[in-house]
Structure 1
Amino acid sequence: MIGIAMTTSTADSSPSTPIASTPAARAPALPAVRHSWIDNLQGQLFGVVMIAFGMSMLHSLGLIIGQIAGVAFLVTYATGISFGMAFTIINLPFYLLAALRMGAAFTWRTLAAVTAVSVLTNVAGNYISYSHLDPAVGAVLAGLCVGIGLIGLFRHQASCGGMSILATYVQERTGFKAGWLLMGFDLALFATAALFLPMDRVFYSLVGAITMNLFVAWNHRYEWYIAR
């Protein structure tokens, strides 16, 4: 291995004096960085659009996704009410947790994000149609879109409601990865979905949910991200 530590060989230097040759040793400490309001706004908008785009793919295939959105999809398929309405109603109790644990600003940002995702998912069919979308490909693409959208919200001090509020709180307080907690919830959700949906749709939905959760678990790490 090269560059961990080196010693000088000149006569006027002590052989025991280390030379810091790694970038980490030479680089100065990075200063704390804070997002401006425009930084947070663009990040939150990106997250909302990517999540809604992923939801529209899932809806077109008759699939579900993990977390509270998956519950909203099941309610939609069972009752015929819009996804946006179901998603909004189911999220209501979680705003209290957000207000008590995460603060008013986080709660308002989450409320705005949930509302925007609900509206955009409902109207996406007016602007995007999928004449052919393979269920396996659609599930993976939707999982990636929703996953990167959630990270966009998390990194800019918001969430998409529901279990992501709880997962974000637990990760910030304990270090337990948000993705793993969400995956546990999803296992229970998909066990329930198997009672109501055809098994092929449950399988493809599970592929999308696993893709999303693994993406979040591997990429949303608090220690990797400097700006606050």
Structure 2
Amino acid sequence: MKKQSLLIIMGCLLVALGIKVLTSSELVIGGTAGMGMILQHLTPFSFGTLFFFINIPFYFLSIIQLGLPFTIKSFISVTILSIMSEALDHVFTFTIPFPIISSLTGGVLIGFGLILLFRCGSSLGGVNMLCVYLDKHYGVNPGKTILATDVIIVGSAFFIVGLEKVLYSIVAILVMSRILGRYHKTAPLEKNNKKLLENENSSYETFSSETKSS
């Protein structure tokens, strides 16, 4: 239990650092984290505060679809990430002049942070929980749902940060997805989470190939 707690803390720290790196170049990521990153440009609230409250409605779906233990761990992870993000904002501020460096570094940090959380049977809530619900009740493919929501979230950032940074943000998402894709082949995930992760990675790879062909 102690080792698992340390892994969750370490995973949240990596994700918090990844988000800090991305926001230093005004880049965004998908999911509820992306919503928080966008809304912090439009509201007086910080990312940590927005991320915490955005995730609250999804916990009800998680309890029903993924069980109480998973929901509790996810709630703890979301809370830790929110606190760490607030702390990082107060401790230091920096700017990375080259968005591609932020994109690659942020994607790697978030990807490995999520790996640690998944290994502990936890997550950062949000869209993944919604995807499981839509899949079970309406037969909507989770991978397509994740891809669609991430494209909408990142695409909406166009009106705030511009096309160039949206493209760099997509690179970050693809890097993160690639890391998660390599992870699910070897790591012991729970059945539902493994299926969701496989679908997510498959959709991103399809999106990547379509982008290159066009």
Counterpart check, 1:225 vs 2:170: no
Larger CA deviation: 159-168 vs 134-143 = 159-168
Counterpart check, 1:47 vs 2:11: yes
* Residues 129-144 of structure 1 mapped to structure 2, 5 A cutoff: 129-130=93-94, 132-144=96-108
* Residues 109-120 of structure 1 mapped to structure 2, 5 A cutoff: 109-120=73-84
Shift of 1:107: 1.0
Structure 2 residue matching 1:42: 3-state secondary structure: helix
| TM, length-normalised to structure 1 | 0.72
Code of the aligned partner of 1:43:
L
Shift of 1:166: 4.4
Runs of 4+, deviation exceeding 6 Å: 168-171, 177-180
Structure 2 unaligned residues grouped into runs of 5+: 136-140, 191-214
Structure 1 unaligned residues grouped into runs of 5+: 1-36, 172-176
2:149 paired residue number: 185
Show CA shifts across 1:7-54 (max 9, x none).
xxxxxxxxxxxxxxxxxxxxxxxxxxxxxx123212211211110111
Structure 2 residue matching 1:159: 3-state secondary structure: coil
CA contact (8 A) 1:178 1:216 kept: no
2:66 paired residue number: 102
**Alignment CA distance shift 1:129-1:179 (3 Å):** farther
Show CA shifts across 1:63-103 (max 9, x none).
21111111111111111311011111111111011111111
Larger CA deviation: 63-72 vs 185-194 = 185-194
Q: 2:52 is matched with which residue: 69, 88, 102? A: 88
Alpha-carbon separation, structure 2, partners of 1:167 and 1:105: 18
Code of the aligned partner of 2:10:
F
Shift of 1:189: 1.8
Structure 2 residue matching 1:85: 3-state secondary structure: helix
Structure 2 residue matching 1:196: 3-state secondary structure: helix
Counterpart check, 1:150 vs 2:114: yes
Code of the aligned partner of 1:150:
L
Shift of 1:146: 0.6
Q: 1:61 is matched with which residue: 25, 33, 49? A: 25
Code of the aligned partner of 1:215:
I
Higher helix share: 2
Structure 2 residue matching 1:161: 3-state secondary structure: coil
The two structures, once aligned, show a CA RMSD in angstroms of 2.6
Q: 1:198 is matched with which residue: 162, 167, 172? A: 162
| TM, length-normalised to structure 2 | 0.76
Shift of 1:117: 0.6
